[in-house]
Structure formats: structure tokens, C-alpha cells
Amino acid sequence: MDFILLIIAFRFLQTHAQTKELFPEWQDLFLKALIAACGFLVIQVVFDSTELIMRWVAHCINLYLVFAAYNRKVFEPLKPFVYAFFPVVLVNVLKDLSKLVAPEFYDNWESLFDTAAVFAWIWLVAQFIISRKQRKALEVERIKAVQREIEFKNSQKLKDALEVQVAERTAEITAQKEALEKTLDELKATQSQLIQSEKMASLGELTAGIAHEIQNPLNFVTNFSELNKELLEELKIELEKGDLDEIRLIVSDIEGNEEKIIHHGKRADAIVKGMLQHSRSSSGVKEPTHINDLAGEYLRLSYHGLRAKDKSFNASMQTDFDKAVGVVNVVSQEIGRVILNLVNNAFYAVSEKKKQLEEIGDPELLSRYKPTVWISTSRSKTGIEIHVKDNGTGMPDALKEKIFQPFFTTKPTGLGTGLGLSLSYDIVKLHGGNLTVKSQQGNLKNGEESWTEFIIFIPS
């Protein structure tokens, strides 16, 4: 019985050690001890004379196992299982010891020892059952821990992969950012070039009109200078004659001519200064400006510029300037560009409508159509308004929502950059005002009316 108990103990300890992966260096020792216990059991069974000796050998080994479990640190995790075997070992040792030392005592209390042995075995079985359940629970926990470890490793791998992807994506985004910044700088440079191109385009349109406008005062200056030259010749003759009355009359004429020369010279100077203001970059400084004079001047310059480019072009110009508008603080060259752009568009619209009527080939419709551009000003309590209206082609509602967008144009390729109205809108906004449009597009073949009106509002 003792060796059977010993074999069970060794086998149980070995199994638990393997399951828990505890002290693997002791597993060989467990196996050898198990083989030795089995050998001792065979000797005890075969040789009856060695039974007593073998039993005490088994007792010693069992007691040593108990001692080792409680005193060797490496066996400390197995204490609960040794604790389960200990009552059986103790009962057997006390039973054999009393039988050897005090046989009479053993004979009197043998039934007590048998009862104690039964309870010790019940205790052992109960502890084995509990231990089995605990091992199963621990095995479940171990499996869960292994799964968690696997999940953790997988998540770590995923994390590492994500970090690599994030690093790659960050590098890609950084490269894209640098490329976009470079593209943005190029776009800004291109935009500046386009804006300057638009300004130079409007300057080119002004050139012919300015040439026409400046020719009139220059003609006056030339004519009156030649006239003064003739009067000075006459003055020399009269000085020799000594006719004072005639001299005074000639001098008076010369003074009058000089005043006219000065007046038209200033007029030419004003036109040149206006051209220079239009061509150079705006200072952005507002200054008192006669809006009516500014509007009238740019209307004439636009008309004469178009006439110089196309001799067949002809249109009526009608103005209605409110004297109450007076002087307004604006950046004159910028507002001048806005007016020039709107008037140019108006003349283009009436010219296009006339071409379309000619293509239709209805003489009556063509004879009734009078290309006209109106420009008017008015003052209200909140500010001033400049209206530029034409009886041209008009535009549908869908276009009215897009015309202030950069690079949008209804003109054929090469005739417009699509920046004129966009720049005009921005200029008016910078003045705290607003640029709006009204339009009606009629059926030309039916003789329906079509028109477009732009309204510049500038707060005062």
C-alpha cells in the first residue's frame, strides 16, 4: 500500500509539473523515482520477507517528499498536493510505528487506525477531485492567457505594421504637401502674371482711345501756337509803326491763345497721368475723386479705343450723372479699371447682338436695333451707385451665377482671360461695396428685348 501511494504521489507530482511547466530540470528525477518506486513495489510483492523493510523505505521516501515540499523552494507550488497525501502517509506511518513499538496499543486501537485511514483516503480523493477541478480551471486560464499573448503579439505586429504604414503615409503626405506648396507658389506667380496681363490688356484697349483723346488737345496746342507765331510777326511790324492800340489788341489775342494752350496742355497732361495711373500698380491709397468725371472719361476712352480697332464699330453713348454724387474717396485707378471693364463688356455685347441680327438676315429687326450703352450715377443715404447698362445680347440666369468666378468667360478663345469681372468684383469688395448684375435674354428672332445692367455700389 505504501509503495502504491508513493507511485501515485510521484506520478501525480510529475504530471502536475509537466502541466504547469514547473521546474523542468526535476522531471527526469521524477521519472527515475517513479521507476524506483515501482521496483520496490515488485520486490515487496515477490519477497514477503522484505515487506517490513520495504514498507519503512516507502515511509521514509514519503516523509522525505513531504519534507521536501515544505522546505525546498522549488517544490513550493506543489504544497497543496502534498497536503492532500500527508494524512494518508501520517496514518500509515503511525499505524506501522505503533505496531512495531507497542503491539498491545495497536491491537486495542486498530479499529481507530482503520477509521483514520478511511478518512485520510476520503480526504485524499476529495483533494484530488478539487485539485482536478482547479487544474482544469487553471488550464482554461492558461489557454486564455496563451490566447491573450497570441492576440497581444498579433496586435503588436499589427501596431508595428500600422506604424510603418503611418510613417510611409506621413512621408507621402509630406511630399504631397511640399509639392502642393510648390504648385501654390507657381499658381500665385501665374496669378500675378495673369492679373498684370489683364491690366496690360485693358491698357492696350485704352491706348487707341487715349491717342484719340490726346490728339484733340494737342491739335489745339499746335494750332494756337502757330497762331501766336503769326501774331508775334504782326506785333513786330506794329512795334516799328508805333501803333499802341493795335499792339495792345495783338497782345490780348496772344494772352487768350496762351490760356487756351495752357488749358489744353493740362488736358493732355491729365490724360497721360490717367494712362500712367492705369498702367502702374495701385498704391491702395484712397483719394478724393470726381466719380462723374471718372466715369465719363473712361466711357469715352473705351469707345474710341474700340473704334480705333474696328472702324465699322458704332454705338450710342448716353450718360445721366447725378451732380449730388460729387467727390468720393476711392482708389481712382482701381475704380477706373472696373468702369472700363464694364463699359468694354457692354460695347462687346451690343456689337455681338448686331452681328447676330445680321446673321438672322431680317432687315426690319436690324434697322430697329440701335446699339446703346448707358452709364449713370446716383447718390443715396448709404452711398453712391454707378450703373452700366447695354441693350446687347443679355445672359441667362445660369451664367449670372458664374460671371464673377475667376477665368470664367463667354467670349471666344483669345478675346478674354476671364479675369476682368473677377478682378472688378474684388476691387469693389475691397472698397466695402458690392457689384451686382441684372439681365434679360430675349429671343432675337422674335424681336424680344434683351439687356444687361451692372450696378457698382460704394458706401460713402
From first to last of the 460 residues of the chain, give the pLDDT tens digit: 444 455 455 545 545 554 444 445 555 545 455 455 454 444 444 444 445 566 666 667 666 666 666 666 656 666 666 666 677 777 777 777 777 777 777 677 777 777 877 787 787 778 778 777 877 888 888 888 889 899 888 888 888 889 888 988 888 898 888 888 888 888 777 766 666 565 555 555 556 556 656 777 777 788 878 887 887 888 788 787 777 777 788 788 888 878 888 877 877 776 666 655 555 555 568 889 999 999 998 888 888 777 777 778 889 999 999 999 999 999 888 898 899 889 989 998 999 898 888 888 778 888 888 999 999 999 988 999 999 999 998 888 878 878 887 766 766 655 555 667 888 888 899 999 999 999 988 888 777 889 999 999 999 7
Contacts of 315 (CB under 8 A, 6+ apart): 303, 347, 350, 351, 371, 372, 373
Nearest alpha-carbon partner for 377 in 431, 327, 320: 320
Burial class (CB in 10 A: 0-12, 13-18, 19+), 300: middle
In a domain, 61, yes or no: yes
In a domain, 234, yes or no: no
Domain boundary among 156, 185, 214: 156
Helix, strand, coil in percent for the chain, rounding step 5: 75, 10, 15
In a domain, 326, yes or no: yes
In a domain, 370, yes or no: yes
The dihedrals phi and psi of 362, each to the nearest 5 degrees, come to -100, 105
- Please say whether the beta carbons of 434 and 457 come within 8 A: yes
In a domain, 345, yes or no: yes
What is the spatial distance between Cα 419 and Cα 416, in angstroms, rounded to a whole number? Answer: 8
- Please say whether the beta carbons of 357 and 347 come within 8 A: no
Q: Using DSSP, how many helices (H) and how many strands (E) does the chain show?
A: 12, 7
Domain boundary among 126, 156, 186: 156
3-state secondary structure of 176: helix
In a domain, 230, yes or no: no
Residue 62: all three cell numbers together: 514519503
3-state secondary structure of 374: strand
What is the spatial distance between Cα 415 and Cα 419, in angstroms, rounded to a whole number? Answer: 12
- Using the Cα atoms of residue 32, residue 35, residue 36 and residue 37 in order, give the sign of their dihedral: positive
- Using the Cα atoms of residue 272, residue 278, residue 280 and residue 282 in order, give the sign of their dihedral: positive
Nearest alpha-carbon partner for 212 in 309, 89, 145, 122: 309
What is the spatial distance between Cα 257 and Cα 232, in angstroms, rounded to a whole number? Answer: 12
The dihedrals phi and psi of 393, each to the nearest 5 degrees, come to -75, -20
Q: Which domain holds residue 412?
A: 284-460
- Please say whether the beta carbons of 124 and 87 come within 8 A: yes
| Sole residue written with cell 499505524 | 95
In a domain, 404, yes or no: yes
What is the spatial distance between Cα 346 and Cα 109, in angstroms, rounded to a whole number? Answer: 133
What is the spatial distance between Cα 33 and Cα 68, in angstroms, rounded to a whole number? Answer: 14
> Which pairing describes strands 316-320 and 383-390: parallel, antiparallel, or unpaired?
unpaired
- Using the Cα atoms of residue 391, residue 392, residue 398 and residue 403 in order, give the sign of their dihedral: negative
- Residue 433 sits in a domain of what CATH number? 3.30.565.10
Are 147 and 293 in the same domain? no
3-state secondary structure of 412: coil
**Structural domain count of the chain:** 2
Predicted model pTM: 0.50
- Please say whether the beta carbons of 437 and 403 come within 8 A: yes
Domain boundary among 133, 156, 179: 156
Burial 271-284 (b: 16+ CB within 10 A, else e): beebbebbeeeeee
In a domain, 112, yes or no: yes
**Beta-bridge partners for 287:** 330
Residue 34: all three cell numbers together: 517513479
